Amino acid sequence: MYSKIIVIALLLIGTNQAMLRALNVAATGMATQEVHVSTISNNIANVNTIGYKKQRSESEDLLYNTITEAGARSSQNTRYNVGVQVGSGSKISAVRKEFSQGAPRITNNPFDLMVNGEGFFGLITPNNEVLYTRDGSFNVDSTGTLVNKQGYRVFPTFTFPQGTKSVMISNNGTVEVYLNGQVEPQILGQIPIFTFINAVGLKSNGGNNYMITSASGQPIQNVAGQSNAGSIQQGALENSNVSIMNEMTGLIRAQRAYEMNSKVMGIADQMLQTVNNIR
C-alpha cells in the first residue's frame, strides 16, 4: 500500500516538473516572438524613412538538460547511439542591420545626396563628435554651411560664399560653386565616404545616424567611388530598403509562432491542473 503511494507521489512530482518546464519553455518562446514582432513593426514604421536599413532579429536555443549522454554505456557491451536532451527554450541573440542598397528617389534638389554603393556620410555634432549616416537630405543653414536636418555639419564642413547661384557635386564628392559674375567654378572641397570593416556593428543613434563601436572598427575615409566606397549622386535620396511584402510575411510567421507558444502554455497548464487534481 505504502509503496504504491510512494510510486504515485514520485510520478506526480516528475510530471509537475515536466509541466513547469514546458511552461517556462513556452514563456521564452513567447518572449522571443515578441521581439521578432517589435523588430518587424519598427521596419514597417520606417518604410518611408530616407536611408533607413531594415533590421532582422535572430534567435538561438537555450541550454539543454542532458538526461542521457550520447555514447554513454547502455550495457556492458553497448553504448547509446543517440542521447536524450531536453531543451529549455529560445532567446534573441542579435538584431542585425541589413545594409543593402535602397532604391533612389529623384528630387533634383542640389543639396540632396545619395551614396550609390557602400559607405556613409560623416556628420559633425556640436560637441565635435562624428556620426555617420546614409540619409543625404542636406541643406544650408543661416551661415551657408551644409548641414543635415538636426543641424549637424557635413564632414569636413562646407560653407557656401555669398553670391552662390548654383552648386555642383560630382560623383567623387568634389563640391563646386558658381558665383554671380564668375564664369569659372570655385572648388570648396571634397565630400568623403566612410566605410567600416564591420558595418553591422554600428550602433543606431536615432535621427538616421550611427555611432562607431568596438565591433564596427574605426571608420575608413575614402574618396567617393574608390576602394569599394560608393559614389555620390546629386539630386537624389536613398529610400528605405524595407520590403512590405517580406515584412508582412515575417509578421504572420511570428504571430503564428506566438500563438502556438501560448497554446503550449495553456495545454501545459491544463495537464498540470489534471495532475494536481489526482487524489
Task: Domain of residue 182: give its range.
Answer: 104-238
The low-confidence residues of the chain, meaning pLDDT below 70, are 1-19, 275-276, 278-279
- pLDDT tens digit sequence for 1-54: 545 444 444 344 445 566 677 888 888 999 999 999 999 999 999 999 999 999
Give the pLDDT score at 2: 47
What pLDDT score does 10 carry? 39
pLDDT at 19: 62
Output the nine-digit C-alpha cell for 63: 541550454
pLDDT of residue 139: 94
Max CA separation in the chain (angstroms): 111
Residues 230 and 133 in one domain: yes
Question: What's the pLDDT score for residue 22?
Answer: 80
Q: Are residues 257 and 233 in the same domain?
A: no
* Interstrand relation of 64-68 and 84-87 (parallel, antiparallel or unpaired): antiparallel
pLDDT at position 63 is 87
User: By C-alpha distance, which of 212, 211, 201, 224 is closest to 116?
Assistant: 224
Is residue 73 situated within a structural domain? Answer: no
Residue 76 maps to a domain: no
- Note whether residue 75 is domain-resident: no
Q: Does residue 42 share a domain with residue 57? A: yes
Instruction: Indicate whether 83 belongs to any domain.
Output: no
Residues 115 and 151 in one domain: yes
CA separation for the pair 231, 225 (Å, rounded): 4
- pLDDT at res. 5: 44
For residue range 171-183, what is the model confidence (pLDDT) as tens digits? 999 999 999 878 8
Task: Answer whether residue 130 is part of any domain.
Answer: yes
All three cell numbers of 67: 538526461
What's the domain count of the chain? Answer: 2
Between 244-276 and 2-45, two packed helices, what is the crossing angle to 10 degrees?
160
Q: Can you give the pLDDT at residue 76?
A: 85
Asked if 115 and 231 sit in the same domain, the reply is yes
Can you give the pTM of this predicted structure?
Answer: 0.85
Does residue 129 belong to any structural domain of this protein? yes
Q: Which three cell numbers stand for residue 43?
A: 521596419
Query: What pLDDT does 265 receive?
Result: 82
Residues 41 and 116 in one domain: no
Q: Are 148 and 229 in the same domain? A: yes
